[in-house]
Amino acid sequence: MSPDTLLSPPLSASTQVFDAPLFDEHVMPTYGRFPLALVRGEGCRVWDAEGREYLDFVAGIATCTLGHAHPKLIQTVTQQIQTLHHVSNLYYIPAQGQLAQWLTQHSCADQVFFCNSGAEANEGAIKLARKYAHTVRQIQNPIIVTAQASFHGRTLATVTATGQPKYQRHFDPLVPGFHYVPFNDFEGLEAAIAHLNHPDPQVAAILLEPLQGEGGVKPGDSTYFQKVRALCDRLGILLILDEVQVGVGRTGTLWGYEQLGIEPDIFTSAKGLAGGIPIGAVLSKAFCSIFQPGDHASTFGGNPLACAAALTVCQTLETENLIFQAQQRGHQLRSGLQNLQQKYPDLIADVRGWGLINGLELKANCSLTAIDIVKGAMEVGLLLVPAGSKVVRLVPPLVVTASDIDWALQRLAQTFTQLVGETCAS
Ligand SMILES: *Cc1c(COP(=O)(O)O)cnc(C)c1O
C-alpha cells in the first residue's frame, strides 16, 4: 500500500476518503489521535479529508508560526529544494551561518548548534552543561535540577529531565543526574540545591521552561526567575531555559526569557523556529560554548532547507510585525476568555498566558475535562489542544487576525453553552 493511499486529497465527495483503520494497522499507536485527518491549510485555516473547514488554534502545537502555506515560506522552501536541500556538516552551510547570525544578534546567545527537534536541542544543552561541569568546574557526577510538571521531550535523557512520572513509566532505568523541584518555588529550589551541593558542589545546571506549556500553561514568575538567576550566578550553576514551545515570538517577545527580565546561559528552541520544517537549536553564551570538534553532531542538523526556512520565519516576524501582533491578539484573546470565565464561573477556574500561548483551566470540581472541550470545539470548527487534563491550550499561528480571534471566542462560547449543565458540580 503506497503512502499516497493513506492521505488522499479531498478531490470530490465521491472520491475515496481517509482510511483510518488502514492507518492504524501500520502506524504504531503512540498517539491518542482525534478522528480527524487534515489534508490542506491556508493561513489559520485547515481542511479535513472530507472538505470541512477548521480554524486552527493548535498550529501543530505552537509550531506553524506563519500559519499554513505562507507565501514567503513556500517561496523559500521551493527555491532551496530546487537549489540544494541537504549537505553534510563536513562542509560550510551558508544558510546555517546566516541563521546563527540572526539568532545571536536577536538574543543573549553568542553561538548556536543546530539539530532537528526540541528533545534533541535539550539533549544538546544537557551534554553542554555536563561537559562544562566536568571540564570547567571539575564536578564528577553533575546534577541537573528541573521542575515538577515540566516537559523537555521524549528521548531518554529529556524524558528523565521531564518532571512528570507519567512520561517515564516503563522506561527505566532512567538517566542518572536529575533532580526535581516545584516550579516557581524559590525556597524549595534553594533548599534542594544546598542539600545536593553538600559536602561538594554537584549541581551543574538548572533547566526550566519560562512558561510550562505541556504542564498546563503556567507562566514563570519573574521574581522567582530573577532569584534563580542570582543563585546561579552566586554558585556557578548554569541556567538553561527550554524555549522550545514559547520562543520565536509566541509570547509577545522574541524569547520567553524577556518576559522574566533575565538572561539564560543556554537556551533551546525548536517548535516555531522554522514554522513547521523540522529544526532545533541550542543557543549558548560564549563562556559556556565549549563544544569542540567531535563532541556533538547531527546528520540533518542545520541543513540548508531547514535553515533557509527558519531564516524566513525570523525575517517575516520582523517584516510583518508579528511579535507586536502576538501581544495585541493575545490581549484580545485573553480578555475574551475572561468574559467567558465570568459567564461560566462554575466551569472556568483560570485564564492565563503570554502573547499567543494561553490556557483556560477548568474547575477541579467540574467533571468536564480539557478533552471534552477540545472535542466540542472541534465539532463547531475550532481546533484546540489540551495541556494536561484540565487545561485547554490556545496557540494559534502568529498571523491570526482580530476576526479569527472573535470567531474562535464565539465558537468556544457555543461549545460551553452546549456542554454546560451536562456535567458540572455547583
Ligand atoms: C514540544 C516540547 C519539547 C519536545 O520537542 P520535540 O520537538 O517534540 O522533541 C521540549 N520542550 C518543550 C518545552 C516542548 O514544548
Choosing from 303, 319, 335, the residue where a domain stops is 319
Task: Please check the confidence at residue 3 and state whether its pLDDT lies above 90.
Answer: no
CATH of the domain at 416: 3.90.1150.10
| Cα-Cα end-to-end distance for the chain | 53
Which domain does 47 fall in, by range? 1-30+39-55
106 plus 255 within the same structural domain: yes
* CA distances in angstroms from 240 to 174, 257, 421, listed in the order given: 21, 11, 45
Same-domain pairing of 181 and 147: yes
Give distance in angstroms: CA of 14 to centre of ligand 1.
Answer: 39
Distance of CA 297 to the CA centre of its chain: 22
pLDDT tens, 82-130?
999 999 999 999 999 999 999 999 999 999 999 999 999 999 999 999 9
Kindly report, residue by residue over 167-224, the tens digit of the pLDDT.
999 999 999 999 999 999 999 999 999 999 999 999 999 999 999 999 999 999 999 9
Among 122, 245, 269, 391, which residue has the most ligand 1 atoms within 8 Å of its CB, making it the best to mutate?
245
Same domain, 75 and 168: yes
Q: Is residue 168 in some structural domain?
A: yes
> If you take atom 11 of ligand 1, which residue's CA is the nearest one?
152
Separation CA 385–CA 392 (nearest Å): 6
213 and 116 both lie in a single domain: yes
The reply to whether 18 and 89 lie within a common domain is no
Q: What's the structural domain count of the chain?
A: 3
Res 383: pLDDT: 98
**Does 213 sit in the ligand 1 pocket, CB within 6 Å?**
yes
Instruction: Say if residue 2's pLDDT is above 50.
Output: no
If pLDDT is split at 50, 70 and 90, which confidence band does 4 have?
very low
Q: Scanning the structure block, which residue is given the C-alpha cell 556557578?
A: 236
CA of 26 to the centre of ligand 1 (A): 25
Does any ligand 1 atom lie closer than 6 A to the CB of residue 150?
A: no
Q: Is 63 within the bounds of a domain?
A: no
* pLDDT at 420 > cutoff 90: no
pLDDT digits (tens, 9 = 90+) for 309-368: 999 999 999 999 999 999 999 999 999 999 999 999 999 999 999 999 999 999 999 999
3-class secondary structure, 56:
strand
Do 113 and 256 sit in the same domain of this protein? yes
Q: How many helices (H) and strands (E) does the chain have?
A: 14, 17
* CATH code for the domain of 144: 3.40.640.10
- Same domain for 394 and 313: no
For ligand 1, whether the C-beta of 164 sits within 6 Å is no
